Amino acid sequence: MIKRLLSALFLSSALVACAPYFHQPFSSDRGAELGPETAVKKDLLELPDPKEPIVVAVYKFRDQTGQYKPSNVGANWSTAVTQGATNILVRALEESGWFVPIERENISNLLNERKIIRSSREQYEGNTGSLLPPLLFAGVLLEGGITSYETNIYTGGAGVRYFGTDASTQYREDRVSIYLRAVSTSNGKILKTIYTTKSILSQEVSMGVFRYVKFKRLLEAETGYTYNEPTELAVTEAIEKAVLGLIVEGVLDNLWTLSDQEEIENTVIQEYMNEKEERLDANHIGIPFETNRRGKIYASLLGTGQFYAGDYSVSKIRPGGVFNLGFALHNNFYLETMFGMQNIHVKDLMNSNEFYGGSSLLFRANPDGLFSPFFGVGGGVYYDFEDEIGLSKKTLIPFLSYQAGLEYLVGSRFALTGKVFANQLFSDFYDGVKVGEFNDHIWGFQLGATYYFGKN
């Protein structure tokens, strides 16, 4: 049964991993095609029309990161991001319908060509009075550039290997940042500055088999694929988002106007305003800036399941419950007190109902996040109030407690809590029998809810 399951898993994974192979360009007559568009392009085109397009000039939109592509072998002098960002910006300005971009990046070429035209007219037409129309001048100058390219913002992966068969996946996230500012050519005032970022995703999926299927018969196979989001597309999307922001914020600040003022309620404009407001409350990975999200005091009610490990090898998991009350000592440290009840059952030998209480020092690894793993160590005592079968009459038995768990905030106050624990008893006579050198233990898990009071 296990072999069949592994074979089915391998076959399905292989088909999934091989899927990109069916899209490989085996044909050599694949023609040129239009470049792919970004998700922001549609929003840029759906903006309402301006009352009058703005003439803008872009001299150079530079790569200011100074970074080169990483290389595992030798030096790599290729830059990490495109050096043609000016072309991308000019296209975004032109297709937005809000701007009339004029040539300034290679203005010397334009001026030289105009000189050639005037010289040719004078020489062949003999008309020195025939002048070219004047060049357009810009009321707004656009400056800025690609300011950063950060690698390995997120990295991770997962894998499994069993009996010569393995499957794994890895991912990585990089990030590029764009600054775009509008400057008035009449007085040099900076009218507006826009900041945008775009993540660049990379993923690798692979699977392989390496095992002997029979004597002197070795099976070795591997497949997989890698996906890398083009850096040029990420830069394009960030620039288009910056142009979108420049238009929207310019309208809101009355730098330029809509042809129809009622279009201020346009969906794209409203979504941009909502996004900007949300970004004020979260960091670069989406976690809110509000620190110490968990309160100074918390109370939790958890259901438990526990079993004992001692001189009798057979013990069933039995139900119980515990109430915890915690107090913040620091942003990461809490003092937790507990009071609970549990049942320990060994068939025909022991059925013990017990109260217990104690305290622990908890360390929360990520107190400001939604998910927060925690670890704790402490101690307490068990009190047996009813032993229906027990071999001995137990009274107070001290123990040392270890626990680890995970908590997830589902609101500003409530959290879901789950943890596992191990209670090491200071006696080997818990089950009425003293055998061996190790004391008896109680193992178990707890699941429930936590409520926080106040702010930490």
The whole-number pLDDT of residue 6 equals 46
Rounded mean pLDDT of 73-86? 79
Task: List 448's β-bridge partners, or say none.
Answer: 302, 417
The whole-number pLDDT of residue 5 equals 43
The whole-number pLDDT of residue 8 equals 45
The whole-number pLDDT of residue 427 equals 74
Where is pLDDT greater, at 129 or 6?
129
Distance CA 236, CA 220 (A): 42
Summarised one tens digit per residue, pLDDT across range 365-416 is: 888 778 889 999 999 998 876 665 555 556 788 899 999 999 998 877 889 9
The band of 183, judged by pLDDT with boundaries at 50, 70 and 90, is very high
Closest listed residue to residue 380, CA positions, set 352, 360, 363, 362: 360
Summarised one tens digit per residue, pLDDT across range 265-284 is: 888 889 988 888 888 877 77
The whole-number pLDDT of residue 25 equals 57
Distance CA 333, CA 336 (A): 10
Task: List 169's β-bridge partners, or say none.
Answer: 158, 205
Closest listed residue to residue 382, CA positions, set 440, 445, 335, 435: 440
Distance CA 445, CA 401 (A): 13
CB 88 within 8 A of CB 82: yes
Where is pLDDT greater, at 188 or 288?
188
**Which residues, 6 or more positions from 332, have their beta carbon under 8 angstroms from its beta carbon?**
363, 364, 365, 367
**Which residues, 6 or more positions from 320, have their beta carbon under 8 angstroms from its beta carbon?**
303, 304, 305, 306, 340, 341, 342, 343, 444
C-alpha distances in Å from residue 20, one per residue of 32, 38, 39, 81, 205: 21, 22, 23, 26, 11
Please calculate the CA angle 60-64-69 and round it to the nearest 5 degrees. Answer: 120
CB 243 within 8 A of CB 96: yes
The whole-number pLDDT of residue 78 equals 80
- Residue 15, pLDDT > 50, answer no
What letter does residue 366 receive in the DSSP assignment? -
C-alpha distances in Å from residue 444, one per residue of 44, 375, 401, 455: 56, 15, 11, 31
The band of 212, judged by pLDDT with boundaries at 50, 70 and 90, is confident
- Residue 17, pLDDT > 60, answer no
Summarised one tens digit per residue, pLDDT across range 432-448 is: 666 666 677 888 999 99
- Residue 139, pLDDT > 60, answer yes
Please calculate the CA angle 348-349-352 and round it to the nearest 5 degrees. Answer: 110
The band of 127, judged by pLDDT with boundaries at 50, 70 and 90, is low
> Which amino acid would we find at residue 26?
F
Distance CA 412, CA 314 (A): 43
What letter does residue 367 receive in the DSSP assignment? T
DSSP string, 175-237: EEEEEEEEEETTT--EEEEEEEEEEEEEEEEEEEEEEEEETTEEEEEEEEEEEE--HHHHHHH
Summarised one tens digit per residue, pLDDT across range 146-160 is: 999 888 888 888 888
Q: Which of 11-15, 44-48, 94-98 has the lowest mean pLDDT?
A: 11-15
- Residue 2, pLDDT > 70, answer no
- pLDDT over 90, % of the chain: 31
- Residue 287, pLDDT > 70, answer no
The band of 454, judged by pLDDT with boundaries at 50, 70 and 90, is confident
- Residue 290, pLDDT > 70, answer no
The whole-number pLDDT of residue 28 equals 60
CB 235 within 8 A of CB 83: no
> Which amino acid would we find at residue 263?
E
Number of Cβ within 10 Å of residue 100's Cβ equals: 15
**Over the chain, what is the mean pLDDT?**
83
The whole-number pLDDT of residue 156 equals 85
Task: Provide the pairing of β-strand 140-162 with 165-184.
Answer: antiparallel
Task: List 327's β-bridge partners, or say none.
Answer: 297, 335
Q: What's the token pair of residue 61?
A: 């939109």
